[in-house]
């Protein structure tokens, strides 16, 4: 069993309220869940107005497949989020 994970820190500079930020983050989480069939959550920085930390994971039987999915997730986020990606980590663990 292979668990592939992605962690993104996204800067949202033009957000005016936590409510607006949560609307954007929740929309992104739902799109990622539906489109890529991954588990996804805002894992930190919930109270920050300018930043969001998103984590996602997929379970598969191949490290290569899992990391390909995470690269597609990264490309999707780069094109869909009205902000800048500040940090990305992709890794897989074999169990």
pLDDT of residue 59: 96
CA distance 10 to 84: 6
Picking from 91, 88, 95, the residue whose alpha carbon sits closest to that of residue 10 is 88
């107005």: which residue's tokens? 49
Give residue 33's pLDDT. Answer: 95
Q: Domains along the chain?
A: 2-94 (3.30.70.1120)
d(CA 21, CA 69): 25
| Residue carrying structure tokens 């990391």 | 67
pLDDT surpassing 90 at residue 36: yes
Residue 26 pLDDT > 90, yes or no? yes
C-beta separation of 21 from 49 below 8 A: yes
Q: Which of the two residues, 16 and 27, has the higher pLDDT score? A: 27
pTM, two decimal places? 0.86
User: What pLDDT, in 10s, does the model give residues 50-73?
Assistant: 999 999 999 999 999 999 999 999
- Segment 74-87 shows an average pLDDT of 90
Residue matched to tokens 């983050």:
25
């Amino acid at each position: 069993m292979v668990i592939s994970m992605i962690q993104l820190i996204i800067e949202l500079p033009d957000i005016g309220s936590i409510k607006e930020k949560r609307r954007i983050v929740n929309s992104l989480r739902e799109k990622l869940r539906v489109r890529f069939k991954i588990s996804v959550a805002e894992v930190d920085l919930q109270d920050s107005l300018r930043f969001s930390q998103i984590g996602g994971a997929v379970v598969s039987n191949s490290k290569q497949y899992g990391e390909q999915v995470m690269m597609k997730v990264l490309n999707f986020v780069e094109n869909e989020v009205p902000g800048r990606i500040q940090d990305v980590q992709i890794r897989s663990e074999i169990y």
